[in-house]
Structure 1
Amino acid sequence: MSDKNPFPGENNTGHIWDDNIRELANPIPRWWMIGFWISILWVVGYGVLYPMIPGSNDHTKGVTGWTQIGEYQEGLDQVEAIRGKFEEQIKDLSAAEILADDGLSTYTVASARVLFGDYCAACHGSGGQGGPGFPVLADDDWLYGGKIENLVQTITNGRRGMMTAQGAILKPEEVDTLAQAIVDGTIAEEPLFKTKACFACHGMDAKGNPALGSANLTDAIWRFDEDDKLASAKYTIIHGVNAANDPKTRQAVMPSFKDRLSEGDIKKLAVYVYKLGGGQ
């Protein structure tokens, strides 16, 4: 191939392709060689300073003794040092006292965001917007009361809704009448509301009773099947909520967190939920 080199005066290897593509024999640029040797020195220096070379059971430690776990722990210690003063206050204060302190409540909301994501968001949504069959936490509608003490009690002990299934008690036309009155917002004026003793749980004004956790029937807030309010109201009247004698009953259970969360974390979550906009 070199015998047929069409570029005899050029510093090439004699390897020619397609008449003019050839391999040159020029030396490597000096800047490239400098960079090459520097990179080798850098690797050697790194291996001396930091963990690098694996062995059969361990690895070289490096003269600095640096580890990823150590760096993580150092950062964690710095965070804990900042948080410590706030955590000590939270431990000794009630949720109401935390809420009354602007600085402490601001810290608590930031700190509890992760707790809410881990323990609450699956049912109530990441922003407290609720999910199918689970209540909204970002409004001002509270079955058991929206005071901070109510929220602490709810998170600590859980809640279990209760409404008797009325399917075997009411006639179909009575169910229709009551459901339509609920949808129309006129349930408090509906005679059946009183004659069938609905007021015993929902109050004479049909606005609910926080002591019982009974729903306000006069507002426009719906927990179940909001897209078809009339059908939803009928279903709840007929099958109730957590009614033991009806397999089609609505399920409405909030678990207790007293065995899963510390007292401080429960207070944090109560403040966080209150601050979502739904506290009273």
Structure 2
Amino acid sequence: MADKNPFPGENNTGHVWDDNIRELRNPIPRWWMIGFWISLAWWVAYGILYPMIPMGESWSKGVLGWSMVGEYQEGLEQVEKVRAKYEEQIAGLSAEEILADEGLTAYTVASSRVLFGDYCAACHGSGGQGGDIFPVLADDDWLYGGSVATIQQTITNGRRGMMIGHGSMLSEQEIATLASLVADWDGASEEARTLYQSKGCFGCHGADGKGIQALGSANLTDAVWRFSDLDPVASATYTITHGVNDPNQPKTREAVMPAFNERLSENEIKKLAVYVYKLGGGQ
């Protein structure tokens, strides 16, 4: 190919494409070589100063002794030093007393976001909006009460309410009548209200249908649905038939809030209680 080089005397390799595109033998620019050698020197220096080279199950530590874990721990110590004075105050106060201090409340809410994200958001949503089978924490509808003390108790010990399934005790028509009452309390027929009383539903949900917080029974008169609001009648029918946490009903609803007293410290639970209370639904 070099014998047929159409550019004789030019410093090229003899490789020509499309008549005039060729590979030249020009030396690499001096500035590029200087940059190359500087970068090579920097690579060697970095390997001496910092951890870099794998060595079996370990690695070279570097003469500076720096590590990402060490830098993280130093930063964490700085953060904990700033937070220490607030954490010490929280340890000596109740959740109610924390809420009475505006500055301490602001710190507690800000410092509990990660806690809520780690332990609560998977079920209740990042903003407490709840899910298909998990309660909303940002409204004012509470089965057991929305005081900060009650919320703290719930987080500590968990909750496991129970409603027995009535599928074998009530006829399909009776269940349908009661479901219509639950779906539209104010517009329900007198027949539905009479059936509610005669079947003893008031024993758990109260004569006015507003629920009994000591029992954790649902308020049947509002438009808040624990399991589904797409079809209130169908949802109520299913719950009346199969119950909630009924061990004798294979198709029962499952609604369990786990206890966190063995996973979180007393301070962490207290802070989470304040955080949930301040989501907007505490009362």
TM-score (norm 1): 0.90
Partner residue in 1 for 2:39: 39
Deviation track 1:7-59 (CA, whole Å, cap 9, x = no partner) reads: 33433344444442333232222211221221122122222322233445644
**Matched letter for residue 199 of structure 1:** F
Give matches, 1:210-221, under 5 Å: 210-221=213-224
- Could you list the per-position Cα deviations for residues 92-127 of structure 1 after superposition, in whole angstroms to 9, with x for gaps in the alignment? 111112222222222222222222222222222222
Matches within 5 A, 1:1-280: 1-56=1-56, 58-186=58-186, 190-280=193-283
- Supply the distance in 2 between the matched residues of 1:170 and 1:58 (Cα, whole angstroms): 70
Separation in 2 of the partners of 1:106 and 1:217?
35
- Distance, in Å, in 2 between the alignment partners of 1:241 and 1:59 is 56
Q: Which amino acid aligns with 1:202?
A: H
Distance 1:152 1:59, change over 3 A: closer
Distance in 2 (alpha carbons) for counterparts of 1:235 and 1:55: 63
User: Retained in 2: the 8 A contact 1:152–1:267?
Assistant: yes
Which segments of structure 1 move beyond 6 Å, counting only runs of 4 or more?
none
Q: Aligned residues: percent identity?
A: 70
Deviation at 1:184, TM superposition (A): 1.7
Structure 2 residue matching 1:22: 3-state secondary structure? strand
Shift of 1:219: 0.3
Q: Deviations over 1:130-152 (max 9, x none)?
A: 22222111111000000001101
SS in 2 for 1:254: coil
Q: 1:217 to 1:24 in 2, by over 3 A?
A: same
Query: 1:2, CA displacement in angstroms?
Result: 4.1
Residue type at the aligned position of 1:151: I
In 2, are the aligned partners of 1:188 and 1:206 still within 8 Å (CA)? Answer: no
| AA in 2 matched with 1:102 | E
How many residue pairs align between the two structures?
Answer: 280
Q: What is the alpha-carbon distance in structure 1 between the residues aligned to residue 173 and residue 3 of structure 2?
A: 108
AA partner of residue 191 (structure 1) = T
Q: Which runs of 5+ in 1 are unaligned?
A: none
Please report the TM-score for the alignment, with normalisation by the length of structure 2: 0.89
Cα 1:61–1:122, aligned 2, differ >3 Å: closer, same or farther? Answer: closer
